[in-house]
A = this chain, B = another copy of it.
Amino acid sequence: MTSLTSRGWALAKRPVGEPTLADFDLQTSDVPAPGAGEIQVRNSWMSVDPYMRGRMYDRESYVPPFQIGELLQGGTVGHVTASNHPDYAEGDLVLSMAGWREAWTAAPEAVMANKLPAGTGLPDSAFLGIAGMPGLTAYAGILRVAELKEGDTVFVSGAAGAVGSAVVQIAKIKGCTVIGSAGGAEKVAYVKSLGADACVDYREAATYDELLAALKQAAPKGIDVYFDNVGGDHFQAAIELARPFARMAICGMISQYNDTEPSPGPNNVIQIVGKQLQIKGFIVSTHVDMQPQFMADMAEWIGSGKLKFEETVMEGVAEAPHAFIGLFSGRNKGKMLVKLS
């Protein structure tokens, strides 16, 4: 067992509005040989996810805020380089929350580490995307929270993202009509390639009225289900398009994560009453009980080619803040990842 050196990112200061490189601080630290009950891991992939923006505010939420000067956390996969824990051996593939760094030594439970199964046929990176947290988010959100039924017309905002692209495909597998939204012609083509019946380009339909008109054209009879990744105009348009008893799974509102002032909510919430809408926010951790069924379905769908996934990869830990910041300008198709080793 030897010690390693690891570069990793700390929060230099809390971002105001859109995060910038100055908000991050690259630190180098020593990763010691593991003590009793600890493992030493070299990360191979790390995840950047929109929800991390929320942890950069100093406020109470469902996860504690990041602390200034401390290493950031997030999903990562890596291989055990040394183990002083009976359940882990050198070479094991480990999923943990010790991301934003190249390597680490800790007790597995301190970083929510879990050994990943071997022989799945999936690339390691998939456990940060389609077979990991974003995949389960899509699965639980569309099937349980939105109570998807065969024949529903489904509108998915942010349909080219890690979660959205999975939602599109799951809804198609379940026999639904699916309308996506995405930014730019390339992403729109990608969403259609996943099977979406239509996809609105929200860069082209840039005003609310244009977005609504484009969606009305795509879903002239309205929608039964809305899966929200974007918020703002998309949420308001979804309420406008909703049929009676439509269900909405509110997964995220990336258009608002960098707001420095509260932005006005949808101006048509009164329709919640007359249309008897059901709007539910959710966090994936509430639905981890679905993990076994999720993994079984994913294995089948990916194996049979029914479900595809794409990754946008940046190379090296130095790129992590770029990758994160890129989420808010939509630089990713599918899952945004940083390859670490």
Interface residues of A (CB under 8 A from B): 54, 61-62, 231, 235-236, 244, 250-253, 256, 262-283, 286
Which residues of B sit under 8 angstroms from A286, Cβ to Cβ?
Answer: 276
Contact: B231 with A270, CB < 8 Å?
yes
User: Which of A256, A268, A282 is most buried by chain B, counting CB atoms within 10 A of its CB?
Assistant: A282
Report B-chain residues with C-beta under 8 Å of the C-beta of A278.
Answer: 278-281
Asked if B269 and A231 sit within 8 Å, CB to CB, the answer is yes
Contact B231 A274 (CB under 8 A): no
Say how far A47's CB is from chain B's closest CB, in angstroms.
19
Whose C-beta in chain B lies nearest to the C-beta of A273? B281
In chain B, what residue has the closest Cβ to A60?
B274
> Given A62-B244, A283-B276 in contact, is the A268-B265 Cβ separation under 8 Å?
yes
Q: Measured between C-beta atoms, what is the minimum distance from A246 to chain B in Å? A: 10
The answer to whether residues A280 and B269 also contact, given A62-B244, A244-B62, A264-B264 and a CB cut-off of 8 A, is: no
- A60–chain B nearest beta-carbon distance, Å: 9
Asked if A62 and B274 sit within 8 Å, CB to CB, the answer is yes
CB < 8 Å: which of B244, B263, B267, B283 contacts A273?
Answer: B283
Residue in contact with A267 in the complex, picked from B244, B263, B270, CB distance below 8 Å:
B263
A279 adjacent to B280 (CB under 8 Å): yes
Whether B281 contacts A274 by the Cβ 8 Å rule is yes
Q: Which residues of B contact A283 (CB under 8 A)?
A: 273-274, 276
A270 CA / B264 CA spacing, docked (Å): 11
Cα A62 to Cα B242 in complex, Å, equals 13
Within the complex, which residue of B251, B253, B272 is in contact with A279, where a contact is CB–CB below 8 Å?
B272
Question: How far does the alpha carbon of A194 sit from the alpha carbon of B180 in the complex, in Å?
Answer: 49
User: Which chain B residue has the least Cβ–Cβ distance from A252?
Assistant: B273
Known pairs A62-B276, A276-B283 / 6 extra A-B pairs, C-beta < 8 Å = A235-B269, A252-B273, A253-B269, A262-B268, A272-B280, A276-B280
How far apart are A290's CB and chain B's nearest CB, in angstroms?
Answer: 15
Q: Is the CB of A250 within 8 A of B266?
A: no
The complex places the Cα of A270 from the Cα of B250 at a distance, in Å, of 9
Q: How far, in whole Å, are A263 and B268 apart by their CA atoms in the complex?
A: 8
**Cα separation A258 to B164 with both chains bound (whole Å):** 38
Pair B262/A267 contact, Cβ less than 8 Å:
yes
Q: Please, which residue of chain B has its CB at the minimum distance from the CB of A283?
A: B276
Q: Give bound CA distance, A250 to B262, whole Å.
A: 23
**Which residues in B have their C-beta under 8 angstroms from that of A271?**
281
